[in-house]
Structure 1
Amino acid sequence: MSSERSYPVAKDLRRGRGAGSNAAGRFERLAHEPENDGWDIEEERAPVRTEVRIEVPRRIITYNRSPDLPFDRSINPYRGCEHGCIYCFARPSHAYLGMSPGLDFETRLVARPDAPEVLARELSSRAYRVAPLAIGTNTDPYQPIERDYAITRACLKVLHAFRHPVAIVTKGVLIERDLDILTEMARDGLVRVGISVTTLDPVLSRRMEPRVPSPARRFEVIRTLSGAGVPVRLMASPIVPGLSDHETEALLEEGKAAGAGSASWIMLRLPREVSPLFQDWLAEYYPNRAARVMARLREMHGGKDYDARWGRRMRGEGRYAEMIGARFKLAARRLRLDQPQPLLRCDLFRVPPKSGDQMSLF
């Protein structure tokens, strides 16, 4: 599947989208550019629409060995994300599908309706060893198309039936729909949730995260989940130098007031195709701050836009990174958001009996 829109797209055709172009992925040998054919007839221009394709996965659990991550396994019900966050570090993953990390990532989505059945099969394997599983580590499990496909909810039902621990990360309000499952899992110490909030500024948020619920609405989600007994962590991520870094303390205060029990932060990451996409976005919306933002990032990554080395990619290094880390640490300590999240229980895991299985007499 090659990208069909590899050139800059007019602003009026991409309303509600984060990327301004659809540059071909790094694995593509060909790129498409519009060419004036000499005719004076104005061609009809269609706005960018969301498309959803179906994938039948052979496996759904992905394992990692990264020392930067607090989990070694995850599942992703969807590929691509309609939220359209311009800074999303997962954008380059779309290049593996032969599509663009630009507009394709947020408009040409892949749903995996068979994920719950595949998950149940993998968890039932005699070789499987239980450990906390993460959902939402690459693309958001509660992005808008979850309303129609409900794959995340179906996966949660499987995890609940197996009494399997899970950690969820999202910006979406659809998670409130699944409170019936989450509250039961929370009573048994089987779930915790991270809600990502990047800024308190609704204008900046709408520009950076065009189809994400407003910051105020996400704090309502924190309030709802925590009020239902679900452990919630405020994720101040990413912190964008020169745009949102001044809000660090205010974000934590809002999170505490909403009921978050802990907080974490990650610095803006610009791997591979994300860097040119983000720089084009800066030039369009914040041209007077673009040089400052990129100078800060390069200062933290040895002169590069991004340093992918473990131990450095999430926070950066140098005086600026240390300053942000110190500010966050002080504010979190003052608000008692520096507490570790509760450990998820693994001792309750069991493979539920299937219809026709011989039941134990003892």
Structure 2
Amino acid sequence: MSKSGNIVRGRGAQSAAVPQRFGLSAREIDGDWRDDAERVDGPAPPMRTTVTEEFPKSIVTFNQSPDLAFDRSINAYRGCEHGCVYCFARPTHAYHDLSPGLDFETKLFAKPYAARLLRETLSRPKYVPKPIAMGTNTDPYQPIEGRYEITRQVLEVCLDTRHPVTITTKSDRVLRDLDLLSELAQHELVAVALSVTSLDPALSSKLEPRATSPQKRLVALQKLAEAGVPTHFSVAPVIPAITDQFMEQIVAQAAEAGVQSCGWIMLRLPHEVAPLFREWLDTHFPDRADKVMAIVRSVRKGRDNDPQFFSRMRPSGVWAELFRSRFRIACRRAGLGKASFPLKTDAFRQPESGLQRRLL
């Protein structure tokens, strides 16, 4: 919550606390002025989103995590205007001396040369193709994609080189690229996943204030499925005593939309996400804040977060088994399961060297 005690509307986080993991000094308004500033000066103006362009030397990130289903990814943006308060990627802003809170959703970074860098990587003689994951850290279809079109440019490279790619998003802006996605799907080169957290627009406006509404996401899933694009949906994250009530409804509506695969993910609160989420609970749900956190700790071995490999993505305990059983029953009733989408790598063709583009 802001220093004046007012709710920061239109944003997920309620403060811009400086991360303490790196020994940075905390900053706050001093003296009596902080209690009287709004009365004297009036309400603070709405927070504006800024975008800084950055020019890294590479764009593909490789990993060896045993918890991930991919070994390489592209994140065209840092920070995310969607403002999902539970976002596990928030702590990455702390590495740049920025707040995982409001800075994460207002001070964004774009990588406009991502497609060019991807071509350079794919041109390496020893490069071996495997699916590239997009949307693993921040959303590739957040609002600024409408201006930069970096995600679209990356997809064009993937189509040109016949390189497999997966997309995870919370936005129906993915439909803007349906022409590319449909063609990629014809070559078995793409799969798209959308996550739905609740079916209550009012709740979603607090949890993920600038993300596409849940109903629009379900419509996007349907249109993707109708276009022949392999689709997956995820009830994610499941927040106990806040969003778990929607689990069965989401599964049923996703099945009606024609999706082919489904899953669920329990809330994770790494590093600075935990205090930000606690602050959010105190602001919007003070009556059940203690209950929510008690259940979270019960599925994370008594802690706000379990950071260990193998167990961090698999909650345990009575509550976790309850959610797991509910989801399994809901999927069985809806005729849904967890499908696999094997993407082809044998059609890969390296980009032409230099500035010459393939004419095929």
CA separation of 1:243 and 1:304: change in aligned 2, threshold 3 A: same
Aligned to 1:238: 237
Measure, in 1, the Cα distance between the counterparts of 2:5 and 2:182.
43
The TM-score with structure 2 as length reference comes to 0.93
Deviations 1:151-182 (A, max 9, x none): 11111111111110011000011111101100
Measure, in 2, the Cα distance between the counterparts of 1:11 and 1:111.
33
Tell me if structure 2 keeps the 8 A contact 1:261–1:341.
no
CA separation of 1:222 and 1:279: change in aligned 2, threshold 3 A: same
Deviations 1:210-249 (A, max 9, x none): 0011111110100111111101111110000111112211
- Residue 329 of structure 1: CA displacement? 1.9
Measure, in 1, the Cα distance between the counterparts of 2:227 and 2:210.
26
Measure, in 2, the Cα distance between the counterparts of 1:81 and 1:216.
21
What amino acid does structure 2 have at the position aligned with 1:161? D
Structure-to-structure mapping, 1:336-347, within 5 angstroms: 336-347=335-346
Aligned to 2:31: 36
- Residue 250 of structure 1: CA displacement? 1.2
- Residue 275 of structure 1: CA displacement? 0.5
Deviations 1:244-264 (A, max 9, x none): 112211111010111111101
Q: Does 1:24 align with 2:24?
A: no
Aligned to 2:60: 61
Aligned to 2:186: 187
CA separation of 1:250 and 1:55: change in aligned 2, threshold 3 A: same
Deviations 1:62-120 (A, max 9, x none): 11112221111100000000000000000001001110000000000000001110111
Tell me if structure 1 keeps the 8 A contact 2:86–2:268.
yes
CA separation of 1:289 and 1:180: change in aligned 2, threshold 3 A: same
Aligned length: 353
Measure, in 1, the Cα distance between the counterparts of 2:16 and 2:183.
43
What amino acid does structure 2 have at the position aligned with 1:344? L
Measure, in 1, the Cα distance between the counterparts of 2:168 and 2:355.
37
Measure, in 2, the Cα distance between the counterparts of 1:48 and 1:83.
14
Aligned to 1:150: 149
Q: Secondary structure at the match of 1:116?
A: helix
Measure, in 1, the Cα distance between the counterparts of 2:163 and 2:4.
46
Tell me if structure 2 keeps the 8 A contact 1:28–1:98.
no
Structure 1: give runs of 5+ residues left out of the alignment: 1-6
Tell me if structure 2 keeps the 8 A contact 1:116–1:154.
yes
- Residue 35 of structure 1: CA displacement? 1.8
Structure 2: give runs of 5+ residues left out of the alignment: none
Match of 2:8 among 14, 25, 32: 14
Measure, in 1, the Cα distance between the counterparts of 2:3 and 2:192.
36
- Residue 29 of structure 1: CA displacement? 1.9
Aligned to 2:138: 139
- Residue 330 of structure 1: CA displacement? 2.5
- Residue 9 of structure 1: CA displacement? 4.9
Deviations 1:33-66 (A, max 9, x none): 1123769883463321101001101111111112
Q: Does 1:176 align with 2:170?
A: no
Measure, in 2, the Cα distance between the counterparts of 1:315 and 1:19.
26
- Residue 27 of structure 1: CA displacement? 1.9
Q: Secondary structure at the match of 1:327?
A: helix
Structure-to-structure mapping, 1:92-171, within 5 angstroms: 92-171=91-170
Aligned to 1:214: 213
CA separation of 1:168 and 1:9: change in aligned 2, threshold 3 A: farther
Measure, in 1, the Cα distance between the counterparts of 2:354 and 2:95.
39
Measure, in 2, the Cα distance between the counterparts of 1:255 and 1:346.
29
Q: What do you get for the CA RMSD once the two structures are aligned?
A: 2.0
Q: Secondary structure at the match of 2:157?
A: helix
Q: Secondary structure at the match of 2:48?
A: coil
Aligned to 1:256: 255
Q: Secondary structure at the match of 2:12?
A: coil
Q: Secondary structure at the match of 1:118?
A: helix
Measure, in 2, the Cα distance between the counterparts of 1:334 and 1:344.
28
The TM-score with structure 1 as length reference comes to 0.93
Q: Secondary structure at the match of 2:147?
A: helix
